[in-house]
Chain A
Amino acid sequence: MTNKKTPPLSIENVSVAYHRKPVLRNITYQSPEGECVGIIGPNGAGKSTLIKAALGLLPLAGGKVSIYGKPYSQQRKCVGYVPQRESVDWDFPTNALDVVLMGLYGQLGWFRRPKSEHKDRALEALRKVGMESFAKRQISQLSGGQQQRVFLARALAQEAQVYFMDEPFVGVDAATEKAIVQVLHELKEQKKTVFVVHHDLQTVSEYFDSVMLLNLRLIASGATREVFTADNLQKTYGGRLAILPQTNELLSTK
């Protein structure tokens, strides 16, 4: 599965359109392996769209996405997904453990129910995000940050090789932020590749080895040290950058 020569994610000339209006134009990108990649850009830049397109959740208007050299449909077992927390109704009659178990449904396949070994794996995933003691808690009783950690644990339970996380840091408490950062480190140690849609420019250099700067098209991509520069940010955010606080301090100084 992990052929060293083929990149974990390869995007060739991908465009995505909603109702004729293009949302992503001609994105071409080859990702490094075993790194934590930040997908950075202003609101409406198509960050979430890009990962949804990579996951095959949206039809492509053109181009090709491959995971380790093969189309996504053949590589599902090595891809984990953390959707935005707001994408579901948390007042659903189920508990945290049950949600994490959903991460194993793909491996279980049709009709098979999770057994105790699967429950152990789900509990282990919950432990990694510091949520073990909340396993039996009804999901609407969890705080926003805890819900985010449940989603993270669900993806961890998939034991994937490549992860896509849609804004995991948005609106979470400090404990959750810390837990997510720790998980990102662990995944990197295991040579897994993680793509994170991210909003907060202040933490980019700290969290990510490399970045994709996106605004409808790919502005720049590569190692954070080299690519996360004032010049590139100016291109990505345009005039909007002026209102961002302390911009200069955030940027990597070569």
Chain B
Amino acid sequence: MLELFRDANALWVLAGTTLLGISSGVLGSFAFLRKRGLMGDVLAHSALPGICLAFLFTGSKNPLWLLIGATLTGLLASLFLSWITRFSKIKEDTALGLVLSTFFGFGIVLLTQIQHSDFGNQAGLDKFLFGQSASLVGTDVVMMGSIAFILILLVSLFFKELKLLCFDANYGKSLGFPMVGLDFFLMLLLVVAVVIGLQAAGVVLMASLLITPAATARYWTERLDHMIIISACIGALSGLVGTILSSVATKLSTGPLIVLAVTILFFISMFCAPKRGLIAKWLRLIQTRQKVRQEQIYQAWNQLGTQTTTLTALSEQSNLSPAQIRRWLNQKKRGGQVVEGSPDTFTLSSTSWKEASDTALLGLYMEMWHMYEDIETDCSIQDIEQLSDLPESLRAQLQYYLQKHISEEDQAKTYHSMKKVGIEL
């Protein structure tokens, strides 16, 4: 691996793939939020005819010409796409498929044409199909670097406007921003970001480099600026890892390894991200279920009215199966909140007994809150976890409604539960 850092050529490749990761990570964030996930794929595929045409017209493989050609056909494809969706009844997914395959097909025709003609195989344009990072040389990387720098500069200049475009384009228009123009501008930046990655990643894999870092970054943050930075870092990291891996294990090409690296990061994030990750979500679900179970049992226990009770009584009162209650009791026994006396007779500790009555009271209060909509408060119902979360003024109102409610209907039952939780009528 150290070999890699001594070899100037390999260092250029490393710098190139890292830069590519950064620029596609940044621009991909906007494509992702603008719900243009597949746009990268279309732009990459439609760049191919542009590259071939540029070569046919100029006869040179100067990266600048190829880049200009690719940008032009990429833009043309994106224009076709918006025209098709705007002026026909065809939906966006169909339009994406149509445009992508048409442009790519045309590109392949041109490519075969070039390979069979006089300039022959030395054209080497087929490296754009699957990418060939090893072919990156100093001038390529300098160009990639400067273009990536310009892209990032433009994004930071237009950050506020691009955010508005992605969140609420119509509102932006009402504020006087030219949203159609901004959308085209974003598309132009995207095309350029895709095109500079083609030589390294190829048209087939470019889409994944554009969208996966953004989708990965979204798992880790709730702020747009952070998301863009994280996405750029993930792109850069995958570029680095992919390149290093391919230099260690020879005969493996870089582009696919970069894509694999970013995909692995995506899967790790999907499972392990702190709030949005699947494991975190799953744990929250379990926690909520346990909380609901505990509430049910506390309420039943409270209604029974004695600190010591039997498993059967609890089961009948709460409509939970004895096994479910037994599991909860065993858990509480370990925590010392429940003591088992004679078999199947349980005593709740004083703190838990208080907790049970608080839970039951909160349950009644919440019922009132849902029932009477004109309760005045600043806090929101979904923020209330326990009795102490209720502000004093709110509690007074809820208590008032609770008493009113009792005098109106269902007297006996609610009266009973109120006496249990210690409200004097």
Interface residues of A (CB under 8 A from B): 52, 55-57, 73, 76, 79, 81, 83, 87-89, 92-95, 99, 102, 105-106, 108, 110-114, 130, 133-134, 138, 143, 146, 154, 173-175, 178
Measured between beta carbons, the chain A residues less than 8 angstroms from B164 are: 102, 105
How distant is A247 from chain B, measured CB to nearest CB, in Å?
24
Known: A83-B171, A111-B157. A143 touches B222 (CB 8 A): no
How distant is B188 from chain A, measured CB to nearest CB, in Å?
17
Residue pair A105, B172 in contact (C-beta under 8 Å): yes
Interface residues of B (CB under 8 A from A): 33, 35, 157-161, 163-164, 166-168, 170-177, 218, 221-224, 226-227, 373-374, 376-380, 382
How distant is B183 from chain A, measured CB to nearest CB, in Å?
14
> In the complex, what distance in Å separates the CA atom of A52 from the CA atom of B169?
13
> In the complex, what distance in Å separates the CA atom of A144 from the CA atom of B13?
50
Dominant secondary structure at the B interface: helix
How distant is B379 from chain A, measured CB to nearest CB, in Å?
8
From A52, A87, A94, A114, give the contact of B223 (CB < 8 A): A94
Residue pair B222, A95 in contact (C-beta under 8 Å): yes
- Of all A-B residue pairs in the complex, the 5 with the closest CB atoms, nearest first, are A174-B373, A106-B175, A81-B174, A76-B176, A138-B222
Residue pair A93, B174 in contact (C-beta under 8 Å): no
Residue pair A93, B168 in contact (C-beta under 8 Å): no
A-B contact pairs, 14 of them (CB 8 A): A76-B174, A83-B171, A89-B35, A92-B224, A94-B224, A99-B167, A105-B175, A108-B160, A111-B157, A113-B160, A134-B380, A138-B222, A174-B373, A175-B376
> In the complex, what distance in Å separates the CA atom of A93 from the CA atom of B382?
21
Measured between beta carbons, the chain B residues less than 8 angstroms from A143 are: 380, 382
How distant is B277 from chain A, measured CB to nearest CB, in Å?
15
> In the complex, what distance in Å separates the CA atom of A56 from the CA atom of B159?
24
Measured between beta carbons, the chain A residues less than 8 angstroms from B223 are: 93-95
Select the residue from B33, B163, B167 with max chain A CB neighbours within 10 A: B167
Known: A93-B221, A93-B222, A94-B167. A57 touches B173 (CB 8 A): yes
Residue pair B167, A92 in contact (C-beta under 8 Å): yes
Measured between beta carbons, the chain A residues less than 8 angstroms from B174 are: 55-57, 76, 79, 81
> In the complex, what distance in Å separates the CA atom of A178 from the CA atom of B376?
10
Residue pair B167, A102 in contact (C-beta under 8 Å): yes
Residue pair B171, A102 in contact (C-beta under 8 Å): yes
Residue pair B168, A102 in contact (C-beta under 8 Å): yes
> In the complex, what distance in Å separates the CA atom of A174 from the CA atom of B377?
11
Residue pair B177, A105 in contact (C-beta under 8 Å): yes
> In the complex, what distance in Å separates the CA atom of A105 from the CA atom of B177?
9
Measured between beta carbons, the chain A residues less than 8 angstroms from B157 are: 111
Residue pair B33, A92 in contact (C-beta under 8 Å): yes
Measured between beta carbons, the chain A residues less than 8 angstroms from B376 are: 175
From A76, A94, A110, give the contact of B161 (CB < 8 A): A110
Measured between beta carbons, the chain A residues less than 8 angstroms from B374 are: 174, 178
How distant is A103 from chain B, measured CB to nearest CB, in Å?
8
> In the complex, what distance in Å separates the CA atom of A216 from the CA atom of B140?
60
Residue pair B168, A88 in contact (C-beta under 8 Å): yes
How distant is A250 from chain B, measured CB to nearest CB, in Å?
20
Known: A76-B176, A93-B221. A81 touches B171 (CB 8 A): yes
Residue pair A56, B173 in contact (C-beta under 8 Å): yes
Residue pair A83, B168 in contact (C-beta under 8 Å): yes
Residue pair B33, A57 in contact (C-beta under 8 Å): no
Select the residue from B171, B177, B226 with max chain A CB neighbours within 10 A: B171
User: Whose C-beta in chain B lies nearest to the C-beta of A158?
Assistant: B175
> In the complex, what distance in Å separates the CA atom of A174 from the CA atom of B379?
13
Residue pair A87, B170 in contact (C-beta under 8 Å): yes
> In the complex, what distance in Å separates the CA atom of A113 from the CA atom of B158?
10
How distant is B412 from chain A, measured CB to nearest CB, in Å?
30
User: Whose C-beta in chain B lies nearest to the C-beta of A138?
Assistant: B222
> In the complex, what distance in Å separates the CA atom of A133 from the CA atom of B379?
8
> In the complex, what distance in Å separates the CA atom of A105 from the CA atom of B173?
11
Residue pair A83, B175 in contact (C-beta under 8 Å): no
Residue pair B171, A130 in contact (C-beta under 8 Å): no
> In the complex, what distance in Å separates the CA atom of A111 from the CA atom of B160?
7
> In the complex, what distance in Å separates the CA atom of A174 from the CA atom of B160?
34
Residue pair A73, B176 in contact (C-beta under 8 Å): yes
